[in-house]
Amino acid sequence: MGQMRRYQASMERREDARAARLRTRDAEAPDSLSNAELERHRLPTTKPPQPLRVLAWVRYGREAVRVQGHAVAWTPNAVAVQWNVLDVAGDTIIRQDRAWLWNGAVHFIDTLPSADPRTAINLRRSGEDD
């Protein structure tokens, strides 16, 4: 009986991933925080030496999609995440999307040594729009 539940859960995850690919494939750009929300004029931007792996909730209009991507920069309040958008089969990269998201929408898989990525020492301060 337990194997059937695991199989069903596995099938549901595959269907969820396929549905997410369908929603993002034809979507416009993902929603991203504005410069006013980011307070880039006031808050420092940290860029890691290597992008960090993350899971993140991203919005494409009204659709929320969970993506696997990389944190490429962050402020104390937000994270810049980039990820690949795949075709429906999940075999081919169609494009790479990027958005600034609130910290709460991002779960870090990788971390910097001995530091939480959101409070790490600033490696680079930037006023440019990343």
Domain ranges (residues) in the chain: 2-119
In this predicted structure, what is the pLDDT of residue 12? 54
Paired strand residues for 44: none
Read off the pTM.
0.69
In this predicted structure, what is the pLDDT of residue 15? 56
Residue type, 40: R
In this predicted structure, what is the pLDDT of residue 36? 94
Q: Which of 76, 38, 78, 42 is nearest to 58 (CA)?
A: 78
pLDDT along the chain (130 residues), means of 10: 59 55 65 94 91 94 91 95 86 91 94 54 41
26-50 CB burial, b ≥16 within 10 A, e <16: ebeebbbbeeeebebeeeebbbbee
Burial of residue 59 (number of CB atoms within 10 Å: 0-12, 13-18, 19+): middle
In this predicted structure, what is the pLDDT of residue 37? 96
What is the Cα–Cα distance from 107 to 70, expressed in whole angstroms?
A: 10
